[in-house]
Amino acid sequence: MTGRFTVVGIGPGDPELVTIKAARLIGAADVVAFHAGVRKESHARRIAADLFPPGVVEEELRYPVTTGTTDHPGGYVGAMTDFYAACEDRLAAHLDEGRDVVLLAEGDPLFYGSSMYLLDRFKEVYDTSVVPGVPAFAAATAALAQPLVRQTDVLTVLPGTLPGPELARRLADTDAAVIMKLGRTFPVVLSALEEAGRLEGAWYVERASQPEEHWVPVSEVDPGSVPYFSLVVVPGDTARVATADRMRTIAGPSPVPATSDTAAAELLVVGLGPGPDHWLTPEASAVLAEVDHVVGYAPYVARVPQRAGLTRHASGNTVEVERARVALDLARAGERVAVVSGGDAGVFGMAAAVFEAAEDPAYADVAVHVIPGVSAVQAVAARAGAPIGADFAVLSLSDRLKPWEVVERRLRAVAEADLVLAVYNPASRSRTEQVARAQEVLLEHRKRETVVVVGRDVGRAEESLLVTTLGELVPSSIDMKCLLIVGAESTRVGPAGVWTPRFVR
């Protein structure tokens, strides 16, 4: 019989926060293992030492490195891999001899805990279990006596090791946040809080629940004095405006009353391009650097770098007109506002929705200006070669805003006219049959050998490009990340790529 391996959460520091179950298992263990810093006393052992049974075998697992600086030939990753392999061997020897091993884990074992790496190695081999513990952020908020989240607030837990711009974006997009892993990362965290507009009301808590515990506003912290055992708490009450309140629904409040400045009110609609930063135009970049509000579908808003003074208004994918009204209301109130859209805002983007909403007489004094962007069809065509080098049409297969009968009628018209066809929105999670039906309709007028280009995630890391034919196209392989270009009769595949001649014979 082999021994049992148990990972036990022992809380953030106060021995009285160790659970009854954790204390019982520690007191009954044959072997107690715990991690220790390179040249430090084990914090985990200090918390739980009074619970160790007489004669227990102690296994100290001392890290070879903690900051990433090492002379190991495999670097930091190699050093840590060897370390965990050695730990596995040491503890497995006890388990194989039938001894029960308890591994101490500060806070909660599965919340940024080192113990999870040994758990991963043992859970398929030995009888294993995990005992949860009080996480450090719970002790921190208790020390502050400050509610972290209320009602529908969203809580985001962030590692301070994230790049500053990404940290700022996520802080701006959430109601409440906890930032872990400080120490040397604190200056970046402080800057991100400022850029996200979340510094005011944010608290720094050091050594929560321990005798040395103290807390101060983040703005008062000396960056050079921050230890690893610290975190930042950003309560949900500090959010400038709750996300649910920022977005209006059709039944929402009436437009913001006009101000004396409404004659100069302006709303900018910005195309962000298909994805890569280098496809964002200089004009669009300049606009986004000047506005105070960015409104749009959440994934597009996320692409705008967060900075001090910028308020983000993100929403779902099917509330385009409501989103446009939010932006128009802000512009009417004298705010500098940009509505963002992927690709070119005027090609199946937010521009049309903004103009639709702007027909309301309440917005008569708001001037709408569209900032063009690189469209998805341009990006896919450029990757393939020059398939839209001659006359072409653009069509969306989505039937959310138009009947499918209209889509089919337009497909037939394009096919009969022998135009190259760019197909947007070919499929989604709820629309899986349209591609197959569109293929059938096109084959009524086009040869099976007609060239088809399938671009997926063009411009992103997951980019792929497939050149096939209309007859060989597999509809089930098409998803919402794809754009199709169906060639004309003259479209051909040459040594340099896919192209459509400018001349017609």
Residue 68 confidence (pLDDT): 65
Domain identity same for 427 and 450: yes
Is 504 inside any structural domain?
no
Is 231 inside any structural domain?
yes
Domain identity same for 124 and 21: yes
Buried b (16+ CB within 10 A) or exposed e, 182-194: beebbebbbbbbb
Helix (H, G, I), strand (E, B) or coil at 247: coil
Domain identity same for 170 and 184: yes
Contact in structure between 170 and 158 (CB atoms under 8 Å):
yes
Is 505 inside any structural domain?
no
Q: Give the residue ranges of DSSP H helices in 213-312.
A: 243-246, 282-288, 298-301
Domain identity same for 252 and 363: yes
Is 243 inside any structural domain?
no
Contact in structure between 94 and 122 (CB atoms under 8 Å):
no
pTM of the model: 0.68
Domain identity same for 431 and 449: yes
Is 218 inside any structural domain?
yes
Is 120 inside any structural domain?
yes
| Interacting residues of 70 by C-beta distance below 8 A, sequence separation 6+ | 64, 76, 79
Residue 264 confidence (pLDDT): 65
| Interacting residues of 353 by C-beta distance below 8 A, sequence separation 6+ | 320, 321, 323, 324
Is 192 inside any structural domain?
yes
Contact in structure between 304 and 288 (CB atoms under 8 Å):
yes
Domain identity same for 253 and 331: yes
Which of 328, 349, 371 is a domain's end point? 371
Rounded Cα distance between 39 and 41, Å, is 7
Q: Packing angle between helix 115-122 and helix 75-96, nearest 10 degrees?
A: 60
Rounded Cα distance between 500 and 484, Å, is 15
Query: Tokens 């929402």 sit at which residue?
Result: 252
Domain count, the chain: 4
Domain identity same for 362 and 431: no
Domain identity same for 115 and 61: yes
Q: Which residues pair with 452 in a beta bridge?
A: 468, 486
Domain identity same for 23 and 118: yes
The CA distances from residue 10 to 52, 227, 239, 466, 479, in Å, are 13, 20, 32, 53, 46
Domain identity same for 56 and 107: yes
pLDDT tens across the length of the chain (505 residues)? 899 999 999 999 999 999 999 999 999 999 999 999 888 899 999 999 999 999 999 999 999 987 767 888 888 889 999 999 999 999 999 999 999 999 999 999 999 989 999 999 999 999 999 999 999 999 999 999 989 999 999 999 999 999 998 899 899 889 999 999 998 899 999 999 988 888 999 999 999 999 999 999 999 999 888 988 899 999 998 874 433 333 333 223 434 444 444 446 999 999 999 988 899 999 999 999 999 999 999 889 989 988 888 998 988 777 899 999 999 999 999 999 999 999 999 999 999 999 999 999 999 999 999 999 999 999 999 999 999 999 999 999 998 889 999 999 999 999 999 999 999 999 877 777 899 999 999 999 999 999 999 999 999 889 999 999 999 999 999 998 999 999 999 999 999 999 999 988 7
Q: Domain limits at 473?
A: 377-499
Q: Round the CA-based radius of gyration of the chain to a whole number and report it.
A: 29
| Interacting residues of 85 by C-beta distance below 8 A, sequence separation 6+ | none
Contact in structure between 345 and 373 (CB atoms under 8 Å):
yes
DSSP 3-state percent helix, strand, coil across the chain (nearest 5): 35, 25, 45
Which of 310, 344, 371 is a domain's end point? 371
Domain identity same for 256 and 310: yes
Q: Output the domain CATH number for residue 158.
A: 3.30.950.10
Domain identity same for 343 and 410: no
